[in-house]
Structure 1
Amino acid sequence: MTDPQRPQYQDELIGDFGTPITGDPALPVPLRRVVAAIDRGSELIGYAVSVCILFLTAVIIFEVISRGVFGAPTMWAYDLSYMLYGTIFMLGAAVTLRFGGHIRTDIFFAKFPPRTQAAIDIAFYLLLFIPGMWLFLVVGYDKALHAFVTGERSGLSPWRPLLWPYRAVIPLTSLLLIVQAVSEILKRVSVFYGSGQHGHE
């Protein structure tokens, strides 16, 4: 029977979708709760992003009708549409990582035993992924702060919206990915120090 306290560890290679990965020993209860909280947070952000998709669709439909039927294009639809699209694309990255949806080359990786997969993933997250996201976080924060201080505006349309909210999406996304990476590392640690088996408890 599945422990309700145990988060559902999901990855397209290490575990079946929706199937908890079990280690021996399993993660301590506090770490399970950390994993569950991080994963749930990413899922909630994913739900919010899905609402933004509906908003983006409404903006485009409104612009098409205004331009095609009434001959009165808006000043704001272009800027708003690319900003919404960029925000959706970026903020959806963490929940995509949570469900193992990012592209990965698995020609050889899929043939390795679970513990080897876990070790490779841990090394990747610690040596490449988190440092890379930290760099994006620092650089993105500087650019967003500069846009806020200077009142930078878009020059792509007469609407000329402020750019700092849009620029802030990059450091925010980087932070969310780092946090989700912590969850992914803990899942791999559970496999690496466990029996290497996975399935239902």
Structure 2
Amino acid sequence: MQKIANYIDHFTEQTGKYVSWISLILVALIGVDVVLRYAFSWSSSANQELEWHLFAALFLLGSAYALKHDKHVRVDVFYSRFSDTKKAWVNLIGTMIFLIPFCIVMIKTSIPFVIDAWYISESSPEPGGLPHRFIVKSTIPLGALLLLIQAIAQGLKALSTILNIEIK
């Protein structure tokens, strides 16, 4: 149980480091877009769509990393005052009842959507928009899979805390 959680954490950490480069590319692209728009009165549908696609990929592929580092959104009314064991129970129950089923539904429902996009070589309907929209759509099930894998690690860590097993 401990080794599996550690392997998953390491995998998520490495994936998160690679995905974080998308944010640098996104910031540079937005900077160039702003300069082109305001200094040269030039804008492009493709630039704007690329920004959306990069943001979507960053959000979807980085969600597992955010979960691993407990940087996800949490309604923290009582949680911060709980003992580690109570926090582990909340995390385990939330992971088992909400997160894992959500990831499974996302994967199952998005795969046909992505297959259709690949089959028709979906591209932007906008004039001057990006081709190959199916690539960014592929990040939906991939991001859900990464999140599911990290959810399993989070559940194992919560279970270890509840059972008083030390994770090294």
TM-score class, shorter: 0.7 to 0.9
CA contact (8 A) 2:44 2:128 kept: no
Aligned to 1:85: 55
SS at match of 1:172: helix
Are positions 1:164 and 2:142 aligned together? no
Give percent identity, aligned residues only: 26
Q: Alpha-carbon deviation of 1:178?
A: 0.6
Q: Alpha-carbon deviation of 1:67?
A: 3.7
Aligned to 2:108: 138
Q: Which runs of 5+ in 1 are unaligned?
A: 1-30
How far apart are the structure 2 equivalents of 1:125 and 1:58?
A: 36
How far apart are the structure 2 equivalents of 1:64 and 1:112?
A: 46
Q: Alpha-carbon deviation of 1:66?
A: 3.4
CA contact (8 A) 2:68 2:150 kept: yes
Summarize deviations over 1:41-97 as a string: whole Å, max 9, x none.
212222122211111122223333334444543452111111001111221111110
How far apart are the structure 1 equivalents of 2:79 and 2:43?
A: 51
TM-score (norm 1): 0.74
Aligned to 1:152: 122
Which of residues 41, 57, 74 in structure 1 aligns to 2:27? 57
How far apart are the structure 1 equivalents of 2:79 and 2:37?
A: 51
How far apart are the structure 2 equivalents of 1:75 and 1:128?
A: 37
Q: How many pairs are equivalent? A: 167
Aligned to 1:95: 65
AA paired with 2:104? W
How far apart are the structure 1 equivalents of 2:161 and 2:86?
A: 9
Relative distance call for 1:63 and 1:119 in structure 2 (3 A) is: closer
Aligned to 1:33: 3
SS at match of 1:92: helix
Summarize deviations over 1:72-125 as a string: whole Å, max 9, x none.
434521111110011112211111100111121232233333223222321221
How far apart are the structure 2 equivalents of 1:61 and 1:185?
A: 40
How far apart are the structure 2 equivalents of 1:63 and 1:110?
A: 41
Relative distance call for 1:69 and 1:33 in structure 2 (3 A) is: same
The 10-residue stretch of structure 1 (63-72 or 172-181) with the greater mean CA deviation from structure 2: 63-72
Which of residues 135, 153, 157 in structure 2 aligns to 1:183? 153
Larger radius of gyration: 1
Aligned to 2:12: 42
CA contact (8 A) 1:52 1:84 kept: yes
SS at match of 2:43: coil
Return the structure number with greater helix share: 2
CA contact (8 A) 2:50 2:130 kept: no
CA contact (8 A) 2:45 2:126 kept: no
How far apart are the structure 2 equivalents of 1:50 and 1:109?
A: 29
Q: Alpha-carbon deviation of 1:40?
A: 1.6
AA paired with 1:193? L
How far apart are the structure 2 equivalents of 1:87 and 1:157?
A: 23
Q: Over aligned residue pairs, what C-alpha RMSD do you find?
A: 2.1
Aligned to 2:75: 105
How far apart are the structure 1 equivalents of 2:28 and 2:78?
A: 44
